[in-house]
Structure 1
Amino acid sequence: MIKDLLVALLWSVSPFGESKVGIPYGITQGVNSYLVLITCFLANLLVFPIMMFFLEYVNQILVKWRPYKRAAVWVAQRAKFGSRDKIKKFGFFGLVLFVMVPLPGTGVYAGTIAAYLFKIDRKKAFMANTIGILFSSLIIWFLTVSVKSI
């Protein structure tokens, strides 16, 4: 059980799954669904400060390396393109909506990058990401529990 919870936690901090993968994984492995929800939500929430630190400090150093710069520009364009209309139209709530939608390419990684690119106040961006992650996690948790009970 602890191994499965740890794997769910790792999926939740991974840019390849976030809690969208961590929650279903943990629940299907038989871990208590409430424990999985809380653990994956908190793990996914940790991504925001780590990504902000990376964007503000580490990125400034690595951007001088050409292959990194090309990849970073591609990721930034995708995050900006995917979130631009929502953030321009709805501001704070647009960022919440962007992070909340449990689809590939949305989530806290893209939400943090978008907040950084659009120069959204860090506290507001953190709150928007937190609310978005919470709703996304609840949607995935509800769907997983519902499907598993069938």
Structure 2
Amino acid sequence: MLWSLSPFGEAKVGIPYGMYNGLNIYLVFILCFASNVLVFPIMLFFLNKVNHYLLKWRVYKKGAIFVARKAKTGSGDKIKKYGFWGLIFFVMLPVPGTGVYAGTIATYLFKIERKKAFLANVIGIFFSSVIVWVVTYLAMQGMA
């Protein structure tokens, strides 16, 4: 669950970690998925409340500006163009740099309606988790 809450792996790391350590594969999926979903409201709270105060620190501000620029240039155009569906696809990709953390930052930066953004993130997390779960299961069975 902790890997799924972490920005260093999300469910993309939590699911394989739990499965390879002999935990119930269905319980791993449910807990990692649920933990990853919790990231959205936590991150949005941070961005709306805490971020404002931290921007007063030069080091933090430089990092925040760097992340915002990467988000806007990397996938921002596609998310803006395709909206809800673009956000689902972006969060769904099980590759580094995508996921609920990036999806939440995109929601904040592009001022996407929160209810729609939450739903898009949940759908994206679900499909990403399914992809990782299936690939990990097949690898454990020697099929991948």
TM-score where L is the length of structure 1:
0.92
Which residue, out of 35, 52, 62, partners 2:27?
A: 35
3-state DSSP class of the match of 2:121?
helix
Where does structure 1 lack aligned partners over 5 or more consecutive residues?
1-8
3-state DSSP class of the match of 1:31?
coil
Shift of 1:35: 0.4
Contact 1:96–1:128, Cα closer than 8 Å, also in 2: yes
Q: Deviations over 1:87-121 (max 9, x none)?
A: 12311000000000000000000000001100000
Cα distance between partner residues in 2 of 1:72 and 1:65: 10
Partner of 2:107: 115
Cα distance between partner residues in 1 of 2:124 and 2:45: 20
Cα distance between partner residues in 2 of 1:100 and 1:94: 10
Runs of 4 or more, structure 1, over 3 Å off, are none
AA partner of residue 99 (structure 2): G
Q: Deviations over 1:33-85 (max 9, x none)?
A: 11000000000000000000000010000001100000111112222222213
AA partner of residue 41 (structure 1): F
The alignment of Structure 1 onto Structure 2 pairs a total of residues equal to 142
Partner of 1:24: 16
Cα distance between partner residues in 1 of 2:36 and 2:16: 14
Query: Is 1:45 matched with 2:46?
Result: no
Q: How is 1:1-150 mapped onto 2 (pairs within 5 angstroms)?
A: 9-150=1-142
Cα distance between partner residues in 2 of 1:71 and 1:89: 26
Cα distance between partner residues in 1 of 2:118 and 2:56: 28
What is the identity percentage for the equivalent residue pairs of Structure 1 and Structure 2?
Answer: 65
TM-score where L is the length of structure 2:
0.96
AA partner of residue 136 (structure 1): S
